[in-house]
Structure 1
Amino acid sequence: MKKLFNLLFLCLLGTMLVACSNDENFLIRIDVQRVASDDSLEDEDMILDLITLDSIKSLLEEVKWEPEEEPEDAGSEDLIATLFYADEKDKPDELYLYRIWYNFDDTITIISNNEEEGYGKLDEEYADKLKSLLESEL
């Protein structure tokens, strides 16, 4: 019984160590700008609230990315969002630029400068939530 307990303890400890050493980037800030009808950029606003940032990050995980796909020319985007990620104290922030379009079918189209993401769509189930979170600061 003691061997079983020790084995279980070692497995649990190993799982915790792997989880703690995960190389996850943390979203620390988002700068959002609305694009006016004349393609000019309005004043930039920052999202710094940790709960809002976490919610936005979770919603962005629902985007169906197609890195190899080239989007059709859709005109000017509705929003530009710059996401600031940090992973370690000594490393500079990673910046991702998202060009965001609101579609008539209540979905969102995003073009990211991150090569692993590229072009993506967010379905209507999540799009409204993301839109309201991004625009809550505008």
Structure 2
Amino acid sequence: MRRLLAYGLLLLLAGCNDTMQHSATLEWAVINVKNSAADEIIIHDPKELEDITSYLSKTDWQPNTEPKMATHEDIILSLFIEVEQNMPERINEYQIWFEEDNSMTIMSNVKSEGFGKLQGKFGKPFKELLQQNIMGKDRVIDQHGQIENLELLHQFLKDTDEKRQASLELTRYTIEGAPIYWKVEYQEGQYNIEVDNREDNWGSKNIENYQCDKLTEDVTGSLTDYNFTSCEGGYEINLLSVTSE
């Protein structure tokens, strides 16, 4: 947040209400989440920046409209745009509300945009892109076998091996692309597991809770399965499967 405040004066000097010109380049983006532990999440990846620009371009805008919203925005997305080399970047700021039908309500500080609605077919993947950046900093991500932040799992295993209280968060994506959110708490020799599949149209669309006594590491060739065993109800639950290169 401090960095954004520092850029506040530049926002005024650089003409914050101009839309992106053809020659302008989106250099980086910053996500701010209300009441988040992280001050800001910075996006530099060129593909993600390109996707952000593409999704925003599909928004149905009502210029010079500033309706009063009943709730605070879910996130603030700031785009840092280079219009001319060696000159201050322009900052376009978007307040974004996530709606239940996967659409987005967006308010822009760009006069030619103003107030906008992004349809659900675009809002859903846009939300997923943003949430991956928000949550991906402190959780393991499993996207069809492509694992990010695996070191967090290794630290969790080390802590539990040493009988220390620990927690782990994980997002696994279904074949259809729906995120399943896992939260595991280890305390006094027991694993308390929460699985949130409310965004999976093919699942039970609820939050399920389990208690298990063991987390095993089963290796078969290049595949390592991390499974919870000795669970209430006799369940065996696969937490993650990792293929070594």
Q: How many angstroms does 1:111 deviate by?
A: 0.5
Opposite residue 92 of structure 2, the aligned amino acid is Y
Greater percentage in helix:
1
**Counterpart for residue 33 of structure 1:** 32
Greater percentage in strand:
2
Closer, same or farther in 2 for the Cα pair 1:41/1:72, shift >3 Å?
farther
Q: How many angstroms does 1:72 deviate by?
A: 4.0
Alignment of structure 1 residues 47-86 onto 2, 5 Å:
47-86=43-82
**Counterpart for residue 114 of structure 1:** 110
User: CA contact under 8 A between 1:35 and 1:79: conserved in structure 2?
Assistant: yes
**Counterpart for residue 101 of structure 1:** 97
- What TM-score comes out, normalization by structure 2 length? 0.44
* Matched positions, count: 114
1:133 is matched with which residue: 121, 129, 137?
A: 129
> Which deviates further from its counterpart, 87-96 or 110-119?
87-96
Q: What is the RMSD computed on CA atoms of the aligned residues? A: 1.8
User: CA contact under 8 A between 1:23 and 1:87: conserved in structure 2?
Assistant: no
Q: How many angstroms does 1:68 deviate by?
A: 3.0
- Tell me the distance in 2 between the aligned counterparts of 1:44 and 1:31: 6
Q: How many angstroms does 1:104 deviate by?
A: 1.9
- Tell me the distance in 1 between the aligned counterparts of 2:73 and 2:38: 13
Structure with the bigger RCO (C-alpha within 8 Å, sep 6+) is: 1
- What TM-score comes out, normalization by structure 1 length? 0.75
Structure 2 unaligned residues grouped into runs of 5+: 1-20, 135-245
